[in-house]
Amino acid sequence: MKRISDLLRNVSVKNFFHLSLNQGVNIIIALVSTPYLFQTLEEENYGLVSLAMTLVLLFGMFVNYGFNLNIPKKLAVIGSNHQAKEELINEVLVTRIILAIVVAILLLVSIKIFGAFAGYSIILTYSLIQLFNDALYPLFILQGFDRLSWIAKANALSKIAFLGLVLMLISSPVDAAWVNFLLGSTGLVIHGGLLLFIYRKESMQVHWVSTQRIWLRLVENFQFFLSTVASYILINGGFILLKSFVSDAELGYYAIAQRVVIMLRMLPIFITQSILQKASKLYENDEKGFNNYLKKSQRNGLFITVLVCLIVAIFSKWVVRILAGEYIELTANITSILCLLPIMAMLNVSNMIRILVSDQKYILSKAIWVTTVFMLVLSFIGCYYYGSYGLAISLVLAEVFNYAINRYLLIKNGSISK
């Protein structure tokens, strides 16, 4: 009993529990919203709505600017220095708000003046509110403060609000443009409210920062920014590419499978977020303890990921029936293939933690971009010859390559032994 009690008090376990609970809510919401939207919007519009959100989240990487990768560690190291924490958080938030405004204006100009994104420009325009949700999203703060339960509860609340609005307001294919707007606006309200609560709880004040400090943040985080953009393209770039080779209907079928795998890919992300704060402290003070902690976390995370992905792959036919409201053979087969992605991503968690705690942003950037180029070339060939199946297999091969290149560069740098 004492071991169980100690386990439940463990910070990493508590973080993983809250993040998993949040993902449980996401799955429940998906079980209701996905079949409803797929049937209401029809497969063509559902595919375009998914494509618009994928694109706006890609542009959201310019807003996030990689701050989620290194700022939590800085906040954890700063500790109880109230003034330093307040200055750092304000600098990041102001920088992200400015970036959101700039990106939104550039996209609106490209849509309205240059006629970009034909066929789904209206859907994309309404999706731009997600950029401001990204700007105010306080995950980096709560990671640094080790209070991930707050963000888990906020995410759950925003998704429940989104589901309620979808069921009330989305009733036909002509409402497609409003889906992403509802998702972004509910997130903006809830996460903005959480951010205000954090400021009050920590007795911090909102204030503007100098142009010099904004520029410093942009320069300092440039490598992390490049890495996050490449990571997103690695995961979602193939879906954007697929539109050029298949019909909107097949795009919609693939989007269902992608929705399942995106939820599964959150498992290695949760593991990384859960252990990063403690791993950062151990790395600074106890190398042996750091290595043991990382090995144990990797082993436990891999066991959970393999188990969950295996279950989903075996029952993919039923998963598709539930999410799409009907059985779609293409979607079920693609889901089974893509279930390999989270497993390979989980293998790479220890490499990512080592890179992040040692601030080796050049290794991270180099590895991700090499992998992304490899993925894009492979996906182009795969999509051209085999459509959705070609893309799915290309993404799995790219994830294997990603693990290998990260491992190779860490060994070459002397960060780990062979």
pLDDT value, residue 286 = 85
Are 73 and 356 in contact, with CB atoms under 8 Å apart?
yes
What lies within 8 Å, CB to CB, of 382 at 6+ separation is 389, 390, 391, 393, 394
Within-domain flag for 32: no
pLDDT value, residue 8 = 46
DSSP at 237: I
- Co-location of 246 and 274 in the same domain: yes
Q: pTM of the prediction?
A: 0.82
DSSP for 330-380, please give it: HHHHHHHHHTHHHHHHHHTHHHHHHHHHTT-HHHHHHHHHHHHHHHHHHHH
Separation CA 136–CA 94 (nearest Å):
9
- Co-location of 351 and 408 in the same domain: yes
- Co-location of 177 and 288 in the same domain: no
pLDDT value, residue 173 = 94
Picking from 185, 220, 255, the residue at the C-terminal end of a domain is: 220
- Co-location of 310 and 183 in the same domain: no
pLDDT in tens, the chain (418 residues): 545 455 445 555 666 666 666 667 777 888 789 899 999 999 999 999 999 999 999 999 999 999 988 898 888 888 778 899 999 999 999 999 999 999 999 999 999 999 999 889 999 999 999 999 999 999 899 888 878 788 888 998 999 999 999 999 999 999 999 999 999 999 999 999 999 999 999 999 998 899 999 999 999 999 889 888 988 998 889 999 999 999 999 999 999 999 899 889 888 888 887 888 788 888 888 888 998 999 999 999 999 999 999 999 999 999 999 888 889 999 999 999 999 999 999 999 999 999 888 878 788 888 989 999 999 999 999 999 999 999 999 999 999 999 999 999 999 887 676 5
Q: Report how far Cα 204 is from the mean position of its chain's Cα atoms.
A: 28
- Co-location of 381 and 232 in the same domain: yes
Within-domain flag for 1: no
DSSP for 91-146, please give it: HHHHHHHHHHHHHHHHHHHHHHTT--STTSHHHHHHHTHHHHHHHH--HHHHHHHT
pLDDT value, residue 373 = 95
- Co-location of 300 and 334 in the same domain: yes
Picking from 220, 240, 262, the residue at the C-terminal end of a domain is: 220
- Co-location of 73 and 187 in the same domain: yes
Domain residues for 246? Answer: 222-418
Picking from 187, 220, 253, the residue at the C-terminal end of a domain is: 220
- Co-location of 238 and 348 in the same domain: yes
Within-domain flag for 340: yes
Within-domain flag for 89: yes
Specify the number of domains making up the chain: 2
Establish how many alpha carbons lie within 13 A of residue 54's alpha carbon, considering only the half-sphere containing its beta carbon: 26
pLDDT value, residue 361 = 76
Within-domain flag for 4: no
- Co-location of 56 and 191 in the same domain: yes
- Co-location of 249 and 259 in the same domain: yes
pLDDT value, residue 269 = 83
Establish how many alpha carbons lie within 13 A of residue 123's alpha carbon, considering only the half-sphere containing its beta carbon: 24
Within-domain flag for 213: yes
- Co-location of 347 and 215 in the same domain: no
What lies within 8 Å, CB to CB, of 190 at 6+ separation is 154, 155, 157, 158, 161
pLDDT value, residue 4 = 46
pLDDT value, residue 15 = 64
Within-domain flag for 33: no
Within-domain flag for 3: no
Separation CA 199–CA 131 (nearest Å):
21
- Co-location of 124 and 235 in the same domain: no
pLDDT value, residue 7 = 47
